[in-house]
Structure 1
Amino acid sequence: MSRSLRRGALAATAAAFSLVSLGACAAGHDAPTLQVKPDNAAVTKGDIKVQNALVITQEKDKKGPAAVSATVFNNGTKEQTLDAITLPGSKAVVTLKPAGSGSKVVIPAGGSVLLGGKGNASAVIAGGESVVDGNVQKIVFQLSTAGDVELEGFVVPATGMYEAYGPTAAPVAGATPSGSPSASPSGSTSATPSGSPAASASHGAGASGSPSTGTGH
């Protein structure tokens, strides 16, 4: 095999690994594909794991709020609430809204919650113009028991597989929260919320998890 062909094969292999990792939530948060870095922005603190964190802005040339998309897992035996999300280094203010009629975003024991997308909880960023597409943004998730969980995620526009998870994808009133005790990130193939762009990118449909383009663990 010539050098140019060999380089092409290696590039194709790297791209395939990237796409496979996008749908890794389908196999649980400890799936081998999640060990491929830096395709998933993920961090664990205590019983909480935040995975596939992104900041999704408006489509190109459009002004308006941005949104945070991520999957928050609770591997503990007691529910926790997501009390706030902050973006250090920016003036942006993030407003959380649960999927249902409650006042807080609850991550059930042994379950998970997906931020972003129709029928899911949302985290809308006022002053989203302060974040720039292509940059890496520090994101802090404030949990009721775990405290601050900090990681970095890419800033991407709400196009393609991210469109349905951007700032205009508001929760549906009265919808059932996306997390459930059966949504444990312990490795079950049906463990996490469905319908994310991560799953769409790798399988075309199905399994859970938020859009994945972030930095490494």
Structure 2
Amino acid sequence: MSSSLRRGALAAAAIAFSITALTACGAGNDAQTLGIKPDHAATAVGDIKIQNAIVITQPDQKSGGPAVVAATVFNDGRTPQTLDSIAVEGAGTADLTPVNGSKVTVPAGGSVVIGGKGNTSAVLSNPGEAVKSGSAHKVTFSFSKTGDVSLEAFAVPAESYFTKWGPTAIPSPAAPEAPSESATASPSEGAPSGSPSATAGH
């Protein structure tokens, strides 16, 4: 196992533990989540705290397809802020889809979970080859008042625990191409008249 894969596996295990704790504890001013300080992909700028940020790729990265960003965003301020964008270095800006309304709003003294069923989604439609399992990427969250908040997040495949947090659009395995008409074999001269010709799918 390469060093990058080992780092990715260790990071995935630590992040899985942290996200499990977050989702189990809930959110709010007095939530236990505010006391959690995970070892990976966490930062704080002003009133904004970001924890458990990860980029989740397709299970089979050779298949292509979208990736997603997962994170939990806390707002310790007295006024709400909107999360205007999430950009992953080398993979572009994610398409944000809020649960309610037209903007992703982080309430005052509250939090927003990004990723997973029923939560705000952040989809990278074309992450490219740079986003691979075990690699780390600069992820920048842009807020209406705090501005840009950046951190380094690991990329992990949507496998095991991360399946429920990963992309909902997973490409089907590519079907084998049928032979073209020009490639269809025909009996050669001198071949027995009963020899079958090749047909697509055989």
The TM-score normalised by the length of structure 1 is: 0.62
Give the 5 Å matches for 1:26-41.
26=25, 27-31=32-36, 34=37, 37=39, 40-41=40-41
2:119 aligned partner: 120
- CA positional deviation for 1:30: 2.1
1:81 aligned partner: 82
- CA positional deviation for 1:29: 2.8
Instruction: Give the paired residue count.
Output: 148
Give the 5 Å matches for 1:5-154.
18=14, 21-25=18-22, 26=25, 27-31=32-36, 34=37, 37=39, 40-60=40-60, 61-88=62-89, 90-100=90-100, 102-130=101-129, 131-154=131-154
Amino acid paired to 1:108: P
Checking the alignment, whether the CA contact within 8 Å between 2:74 and 2:111 is kept in structure 1 is: yes
SS across alignment from 2:94: strand
1:168 aligned partner: 168
Q: For residues 13-61 of structure 1, what are the alpha-carbon distances to aligned partners after superposition, in whole Å with 9 as ceiling and x for unaligned?
A: x9xx947545443332323xx26x3xx3100011100100000001124
SS across alignment from 1:163: helix
Amino acid paired to 2:134: G
SS across alignment from 1:129: coil
Q: Larger relative CO (CA 8 A, sep 6+): 1 or 2?
A: 1
CA distance in structure 2 between the partners assigned to 1:120 and 1:21 by the alignment: 17
SS across alignment from 1:168: coil
Checking the alignment, whether the CA contact within 8 Å between 1:56 and 1:167 is kept in structure 2 is: yes
Checking the alignment, whether the CA contact within 8 Å between 2:91 and 2:128 is kept in structure 1 is: no
Gaps of 5+ in 1: 1-13, 170-217
Gaps of 5+ in 2: 1-9, 26-31, 170-202
Amino acid paired to 1:66: A
CA gap of 1:82–1:127, structure 2 versus 1, over 3 A, is: same
Checking the alignment, whether the CA contact within 8 Å between 1:67 and 1:123 is kept in structure 2 is: yes
Q: For residues 136-172 of structure 1, what are the alpha-carbon distances to aligned partners after superposition, in whole Å with 9 as ceiling and x for unaligned?
A: 1110000000100000111001111111111217xxx
Identity among equivalent pairs (%): 46
CA gap of 1:163–1:20, structure 2 versus 1, over 3 A, is: closer
CA gap of 1:126–1:72, structure 2 versus 1, over 3 A, is: same
2:28 aligned partner: none
- CA positional deviation for 1:128: 1.7
Checking the alignment, whether the CA contact within 8 Å between 1:93 and 1:127 is kept in structure 2 is: no
State the Cα RMSD in Å. Answer: 2.3
Checking the alignment, whether the CA contact within 8 Å between 2:87 and 2:93 is kept in structure 1 is: yes
CA gap of 1:133–1:59, structure 2 versus 1, over 3 A, is: same
2:4 aligned partner: none
CA distance in structure 1 between the partners assigned to 2:150 and 2:108 by the alignment: 21
The TM-score normalised by the length of structure 2 is: 0.67
